[in-house]
A and B are shown apart, each in its own frame.
Chain A
Amino acid sequence: MSTISIPEVASSPAAPSDHGSPPKRRKFPWTPLALLAPALIMLAVFIGWPLVQLVIMSFQKFGRAQIFGAPPEFIGLQNYAEVLTDPEFWGVLGRSIALCVVSVVATMLLGVAIAVLMTKLGAVMRTAVSVSLLLAWAMPALTATIVWGWIFDTQYGLVNWALTQLTGENWMGHSWLIDPVSFFAVAAIIITWGAIPFVAFSTYAGLTQVPDEVLEASSLDGAGGLARFRLIVLPYIRSILLVVLVLQVIWDLRVFAQIYALQSIGGVRAETNTIGVYIYSVSMASGDLGAGGAISVILVAILLPISAYWIRSMLKQEES
């Protein structure tokens, strides 16, 4: 590098530029731009441009004919009107929200409980719990779904065998996936099982930040276990719990692999679609890309405001 001007370095304090010397014109930031270029191009081409296209397409009549070259025609809000007046869309949305609420509530309650449990265990037991949670966390969602599908298998599944042993009635041959309600119960178990480790570890990390002295002082002042948790521990981990909650809501609302794979093990597709799978079936299976685009825009519109909290909290970290 032969240039004299050394680019300002991040850790140096933001010094005022008028340092007695005449104000220098800021050089155009060629170096950082060149460094950013490959990433910028990839993001612009494969995420930015498709996003623009998505919005445009949602205002177009875009079916099979258009895929094979017919020029798409702008139809204003018609796709949105059709989607929003379609009872199937509302059924799908309701199902997605219900599955999300059940899974998130179960994940948060169990995850926080396990985190609290970990703070109270001895070192050996705590390590054993950590390692088990890590293994569950590492399981790819797809293989986890397949294994649970095998555990709930109609003919030879472990659950049916256990229920037969316990109740004395014959459960062999009972299908868990054919009925939408028990399909979603199984789906919620798979999703919750996979999500608990993240919640437990994050909450545990937060709990270890709570200073012992404060807890001891409060217990000397006569605070019971529950009061200590509510008045002292909770405020410490509140922001962590919020971020984890937001991430869980987002991830569970857009769940795809688990539902899609479970459907191929034995669900009735039309009655068990959630919004992600619905977008796929409308656009890819039925070939109505315009309607699929409209549903996608609606999904983004639902999710981005929820994500705003997470984005804000990450930016706060950026400032500090």
Chain B
Amino acid sequence: MTARPRSAVSRVFLNIAAIVVIVASLFPVYWMVNSSFLPNSALQSTAPHWWPDEFTLKNYQAAFGDDGLVTSLLNSMAVTGLTLVAALVFAFLAAIAVSRYRFRSRTSFIIAILVIQMIPAEAMIVSVFRLLDGWYLLNTIIGLSFVYIALVLPFTIWTLRGFVNGVPADLEEAAMIDGCSRTGAFWRITFPLLAPGLIATGVFAFIQAWNEFVFALVIMTRPESMTLPIWLRAFVQATKATDWALIMAASTIMAVPVIVFFLIVQHRMTSGLVSGAVKG
């Protein structure tokens, strides 16, 4: 479906609707960034400041001067990094297995992956808490990372599998006829073609681990082991009456990496979830 010529009146009407959509979508993001660059006194004045006319970096200095934020930022980076690397490696191996080999339980594995993705994390907090408690992994980066790796694996395997399927196995076979070993053919031919898939999957794992809230809330309860979302939530509760400017700076610090990475892979997000339906 593409645009067809239409009357001037309806074109004006459509563009007004578009502007409403743009403003409604952008405004909260803009308001967060705007408020983070204003002194708190400006936020507490009677008329709103629509742009950072009293521009200041004080809030960011204060945020990075807060031990809680720095600690939780480091925790989040550690957990996210571990999750990203492990999930990528494990999902990559599994995707090869599911995509390049036929074995009997292959379909059951794929079904299991889809079912697992639909199990609500909220329902698992109780038993995951107990599991980690039993292994003395509560309040540890390793413990939370284990949970996140398992949590993102189904989607990462599914996505990577799609990418591996997209590289024709004929290419590998041709290389093997030319004298490559199967492993050699894979590393020299298929792997380079998978790079975009690995990036997309990695970014997905990053966003999931960086944003995750429920498990972190249950597992990382000590102040020194909190991740960024958990610290931010507690910080909002403690300071909302007094310092929204600082809160907005902290929120921006948490949101910016996600927004940047998300923009890199956004089109995979829709197609990964509804591609079955698109193809009918």
Interface residues of A (CB under 8 A from B): 1, 6-12, 14, 29, 31-33, 35-36, 38-40, 42-43, 45-47, 49-51, 53-54, 57, 67, 114, 117, 119-122, 125-126, 128-129, 132-144, 146-151, 153, 155-156, 158, 161, 193, 196-198, 201-202, 205-210, 212, 215, 233, 239-240, 242-244, 247, 250, 254, 256-257, 260-261, 264-266, 275-276, 279-280, 283-284, 289, 292-293, 296-297, 299-300, 303-304, 307, 310-311, 313-318, 320
Contact = CB atoms under 8 A, between A and B. Distances in A.
Contacts of A318: 107, 110, 276
Given A9-B172, A42-B146, A299 B271 contact: no
Given A46-B147, A193-B28, A243-B277, 4 more contacts: A32-B97, A215-B1, A239-B280, A315-B110
Interface in B106-153: 106-107, 109-112, 114-116, 118-131, 133, 146-147, 149-151, 153
Interface string B206-229: 000011011001100000000001
In the complex, the 9 A-B pairs of residues with the closest C-beta atoms, listed nearest first:
A317-B276, A46-B150, A296-B123, A307-B118, A138-B262, A276-B122, A29-B103, A50-B127, A35-B97
Name which of B124, B210, B271 has the most chain A CB atoms within 10 A of its CB.
Answer: B124
Contact of A53 (B130, B168, B240): B130
Given A43-B150, A151-B28, A313 B276 contact: yes
Nearest to B150: A46
B124 A257 contact: no
B31 A240 contact: no
Nearest to A284: B218
A120 B12 CA distance: 12
Given A150-B248, A205-B271, A133 B103 contact: no
B277 A128 contact: no
Nearest to A35: B97
13 contacts: A29-B101, A36-B93, A45-B150, A46-B151, A122-B3, A125-B15, A128-B18, A136-B29, A143-B232, A147-B32, A311-B111, A317-B276, A318-B110
Interface residues of B, number: 118
B19 to A, nearest CB: 8
Contacts of A11: 168-170
Given A10-B99, A280-B214, A311-B118, A299 B123 contact: yes
| Chain A at the B interface: SS class | helix
Contacts of A161: 46-48
Nearest to A312: B276
B26 A212 contact: no
Contacts of B248: 146-147, 150
Contacts of B130: 50, 53, 57, 67, 289
A153 to B, nearest CB: 7
Contacts of B240: 149, 153, 265-266
B61 interface: no
B212 to A, nearest CB: 9
Nearest to A31: B101
Interface in B149-170: 149-151, 153-154, 157-158, 165, 168-170
A254 B122 contact: yes
Interface string B89-109: 111011011111111101101
Contacts of B259: 135, 138-139
Given A7-B101, A12-B169, A299-B123, A140 B229 contact: yes
Interface stretch (B63-71, B193-201, B250-258): B250-258
Nearest to A219: B4
A143 B150 contact: no
B21 interface: yes
Nearest to B267: A201
A7 to B, nearest CB: 5
Contact of B146 (A12, A46, A138, A197): A46
Contact of A193 (B17, B24, B168, B172): B24
Given A38-B93, A138-B258, A46 B131 contact: yes
